[in-house]
Structures are given as C-alpha cells and as structure tokens.
Amino acid sequence: MEHEEAAHEGPLAQFTIKRLIDLPDIFGIDADFTNSALFMLISVVAITWFLMAATRGGNLVPGRLQSLAEASYGLIASALRDNVGPEGKKYFPFIFSLFMFILFANFIGLIPVPGSFTVTSHIIVTFALAFFIFIAVTIIGLWRHKLHFFSLFLPAGVPIYLAPLLVPIEIIGYLTRPISLSVRLAANMLAGHTMLEVFAGFIIALGIFGFAPFIFVVAIYGLEVIVAFLQAYVFAVLTCLYLSDAINLHKH
C-alpha cells in the first residue's frame, strides 16, 4: 500500500494498479477488483453498447455508427480472408473480439480523465492474451495435422544435414511469438503514455513557454490515436498469420 503512495507523482504513476473493491481470494489467488479490471469491464461494456447500437437499425444505407461497425467488421474479415483463407472463417468471432477489446482498451486509455488507465499497457494483460493465442494455435495445428504439424519447424527443401541447426532456430522462433506479440503492444502503449505525461509535465514547469510542449503533446496525442488503432490491428493480423501457419502449414 505504501508503494502506491510512493508512486503517486511522476509520469509512471498512471500505470499503478489500485484496489477498488476487496474480494475474498479464490484458491489463494488475489482476486480483488482493481482499476485494471474496471477498465476491462468498461471496454467490454462499451464494445457491447457500440455494436448493439450500431446494428439496431440494420439500415441498407448505414449511418455513421453502423458504418463504423461495418468497417471494423470488414477490416478483420478481410485480414482473416487474406491471411488464412476460407478455413479461417470460423475463427472470425475470436479474432474480432480480440481486436475490438484491444482497440477499445487502447482508446479508452487515451481519454484524459483523472484515474484513466490503459489496460493494454500492462505486459501481463497482453501476455495473457498472446499466450492464450499461442496455446490455442498450437492445439489447432496439432489437432488438424497431427504429427505432421512439426514439419512447421523444418522448412521444405532444406538439406537434412542442416536440420540440427535449423530446427532449434525455428523452435525458438516459434516460442518467441507470444513474447514479441505481447511486448510489442504493451511497450507501445507504455512508451506513448509515458511520453505524453512527461511532456505534459513540461507545460506547467516552463510557465509562459509551456505552449511549445503543449503543441508537441497535441501532436503526440494524434500519433497515439493512430498507434492505438494500428497496434490493435497488428495484434489481430499477427494472430491471423499464426493461425494461418497452424492451418495451412507452409503451403501458403
């Protein structure tokens, strides 16, 4: 608790986890309702509201909200079609939920209100998502191709005497996926929000000359909006690619 007090000031204070509601531990696991959980809940509620409101009309010529929903649907549907092929269609609900959750968590974290929190800036959140994808994709691959799945680790046309060197490299490359996937998203969010807060601190400190960092913060904020979208999209596309590897092996 005193740790939270100590980190009250400074650009990293925005990332502290605060307990909001004390709940009993579940099997010895701390299950308190934190601000992170609150913002996940807000994201999910916002997504549900957005999609319900957007599709309620069901107009042939979409309004603003409906065309936003259709654009996000089309984005993920085409990413899945281009990367996985027709086989990928049944994984659409998962990829779309993933994309929307990350997108909304990123955007909601950018809203500058006191106590604002970016769920995806914590590596444990993104790693949980990435690790789940990793396990799921491996199981899908094993289930579809049985032992043939392991041919993923030996590129076709490689001379057999290179296999002892290449197979470990490919396996390490495969194991790297959840790490790079989660680090990329969390580090982007962490860096962007820290930079925003650092330069926002300069505005007050510089007094009359504060307009210079202020302009900079506005520009960075615009960049962060792009990054928030781009990272959610990249996460979804890479998930599609991993899925494609598991489904199509290298025949692509």
Partner 1 sequence: MTDDEPSQPPDKPPRDLGDFGDRLRRAQGEREQSQGPASGVNSRGMGMAFRMATELVAALLVGGGIGWFLDRWLETRPWLLLVFLALGMAAGTLNAFREAKRMEGSGDG
| Residues contributing to the site for partner 1 (CB under 8 A) | 82, 168-170, 172-173, 175-176, 179-180, 183-184, 187-188, 223, 226-227, 230, 234, 237, 241
Angle between helix 92-110 and helix 211-248 axes, rounded to 10 deg: 170
Q: Which amino acid makes up residue 58?
A: G
Distance CA 248, CA 19 (A): 45
What CA dihedral angle connects 120, 15, 49 and 239, to 10 degrees?
0
Nearer of residues 141 and 192 to partner 1, judged by Cβ: 192
Distance CA 173, CA 242 (A): 12
| Phi, psi dihedral angles at 130 (to 5 degrees) | -65, -40
Question: Among all chains, which residue has been given the structure tokens 């807060």?
Answer: 197
Nearer of residues 113 and 172 to partner 1, judged by Cβ: 172
Shortest separation between residue 206's beta carbon and partner 1, angstroms: 26
Shortest separation between residue 6's beta carbon and partner 1, angstroms: 29
Nearer of residues 41 and 191 to partner 1, judged by Cβ: 191
Shortest separation between residue 82's beta carbon and partner 1, angstroms: 7
Cβ neighbours of 240 (radius 10 Å): 22
CB 25 within 8 A of CB 31: yes
Shortest separation between residue 169's beta carbon and partner 1, angstroms: 5
155: closest CA among 175, 171, 135, 139? 171
Residue 26 β-bridge partners: 29
For residue 133, what are its two tokens?
């994808």
Shortest separation between residue 3's beta carbon and partner 1, angstroms: 26
Shortest separation between residue 182's beta carbon and partner 1, angstroms: 9
Distance CA 155, CA 239 (A): 21
Shortest separation between residue 48's beta carbon and partner 1, angstroms: 28
